[in-house]
């Protein structure tokens, strides 16, 4: 069966939304609206998978959930034409994750590099939720039978797991899926990752070999979407570079991670290729390139920061967006859950929504 194309993606409300989230994911969320129906989710259930010292507790979680929603809207996502909501409002995410827990294999999860990174040395003390994170992620996507998932490079392995889960579910329940009217035995699509643009992996401004991350102790490692012009300028001027001038060819960026990163950021923000950026700045010193990068960053990010500020000052509006989005998401999710329950053999009563 040809699945109707549908885009789904999510962002965790864990504070410090940064340029990596913006260029690796949100810019592409905005773009996909032109060609597809899109569902964008603030994944508050994923946010609580690490210790409360990481996600900050209830007040912080609610604040961050509203802030990510504001960032979506400020960046240009239209919550009327598309769906914007927070995950915990649609029970199907947790329900489908349970069924997928019984499809996914321990061996598959043991290979997840992000769990190893996040759990660190004290793996025994990590939450079961952190271990199970990628299964919930598969449920997020497949609850809507979404076909395309714009994400940054770091999510590639999780997307592969989502495909494995979809495929194993389709195989395990092939007969039942056919009896439910899907003649080709395919109930879930195998979702495709969309890893697009010149900044799919934005690196730390302090160390070009480390990913730009919400959790880096140094605020100088990242540009936050809420940073003002002065902060952006300071962080870019202090960003680590090397003593060589910029190369004129893209291959000259090899083994120069900091230079590669800054050129990639410039290219992504100006919707040009890295080669094109080097044509302009190649042979020049970092200082003049950095000045141009500051100007570009401020001109692209300041309007978003301003709009985010305006939106978070009106939490009632944000909450209405999330409630309306969740109502529409739930209507779609319920259709998938009804069929999934029939396929698995769960008897459905009269009292529930099904």
Is 240 an annotated catalytic residue? no
Query: What is the DSSP code (8-state) at residue 187?
Result: -
Minimum CB distance to ligand TYM, residue 154 (Å): 5
- Give the tokens for residue 175: 């007969």
Is 121 an annotated catalytic residue? no
Nearer to ligand TYM, 99 or 182 (CB): 99
- Cβ contact 156:170 at 8 Å: no
Nearer to ligand TYM, 79 or 152 (CB): 152
Cα dihedral 306, 309, 314, 315 sign: positive
Is 214 an annotated catalytic residue? yes
SS3 state at 192 = strand
Minimum CB distance to ligand TYM, residue 248 (Å): 26
Backbone angles phi, psi at 248, to 5 degrees: -95, -15
Choosing from 156, 168, 214, 240, which is the catalytic residue?
Answer: 214
Backbone angles phi, psi at 291, to 5 degrees: -60, -45
Tell me how many helices (H) and strands (E) the chain has.
16, 5
Choosing from 31, 118, 156, 341, which is the catalytic residue?
Answer: 118
Residues near ligand TYM (CB under 6 A): 8-12, 20-21, 24-25, 43, 46, 137, 140-141, 149, 151-152, 154-155, 158, 200-202, 211-212
Choosing from 211, 235, 274, 290, which is the catalytic residue?
Answer: 211
Query: What is the DSSP code (8-state) at residue 191?
Result: P
Nearer to ligand TYM, 202 or 343 (CB): 202
Residue 317 to residue 20: CA distance in whole angstroms: 27
User: Which residue minimizes CB distance to ligand TYM?
Assistant: 24
Neighbours of 228 (CB within 10 A): 14
Minimum CB distance to ligand TYM, residue 49 (Å): 10
- Cβ contact 177:186 at 8 Å: yes
Minimum CB distance to ligand TYM, residue 245 (Å): 26
Nearer to ligand TYM, 92 or 182 (CB): 92
Minimum CB distance to ligand TYM, residue 25 (Å): 4
Nearer to ligand TYM, 40 or 281 (CB): 40
Task: Please give the span between the terminal C-alpha atoms of the chain, in angstroms, as a whole number.
Answer: 25
- Give the tokens for residue 232: 């952006």
Residue 312 to residue 302: CA distance in whole angstroms: 15
Residues marked active site are found at 118, 211, 214
């Amino acid at each position: 069966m040809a699945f109707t194309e549908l885009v789904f993606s999510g962002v965790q409300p864990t504070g410090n939304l940064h340029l990596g989230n913006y260029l690796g994911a949100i810019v592409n969320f905005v773009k996909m609206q032109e060609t597809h129906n899109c569902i964008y989710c603030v994944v508050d259930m994923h946010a609580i998978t690490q210790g409360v010292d990481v996600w900050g507790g209830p007040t912080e979680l609610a604040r961050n959930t509203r802030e990510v929603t504001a960032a979506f809207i400020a960046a240009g996502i239209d919550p009327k034409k598309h769906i914007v909501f927070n995950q915990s409002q649609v029970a199907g995410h947790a329900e489908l994750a349970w069924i997928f827990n019984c499809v996914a294999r321990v061996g598959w999860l043991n290979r997840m590099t992000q769990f190893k990174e996040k759990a660190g040395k004290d793996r025994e003390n990590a939450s079961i939720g952190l271990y199970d994170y990628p299964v919930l992620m598969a449920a997020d996507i497949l609850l809507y039978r979404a076909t395309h998932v714009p994400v940054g490079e770091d999510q590639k392995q999780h997307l592969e797991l989502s495909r494995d889960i979809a495929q194993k579910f389709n195989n395990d329940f092939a007969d039942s899926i056919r009896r439910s009217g899907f003649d080709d035995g395919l109930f879930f699509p195998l979702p495709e990752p969309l890893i697009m643009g010149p900044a799919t992996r934005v690196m730390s401004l302090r160390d070009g070999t480390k990913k730009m991350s919400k959790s880096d102790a140094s605020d100088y490692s990242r540009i936050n979407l809420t940073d003002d012009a002065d902060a952006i300028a300071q962080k870019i001027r202090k960003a680590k570079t090397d003593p060589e001038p910029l190369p004129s060819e893209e291959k000259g960026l090899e083994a120069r991670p900091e230079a590669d990163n800054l050129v990639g950021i410039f290219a992504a923000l100006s919707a040009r290729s890295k080669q094109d950026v080097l044509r302009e700045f190649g042979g020049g010193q970092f200082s003049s390139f950095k000045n141009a990068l500051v100007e570009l960053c401020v001109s692209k990010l300041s309007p978003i920061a301003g709009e985010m500020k305006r939106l978070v000052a009106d939490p009632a509006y944000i909450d209405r967006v999330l409630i309306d989005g969740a109502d529409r998401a739930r209507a779609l999710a319920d259709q998938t859950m009804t069929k999934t329950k029939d396929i698995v053999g769960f008897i459905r009563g009269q009292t529930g929504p099904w």
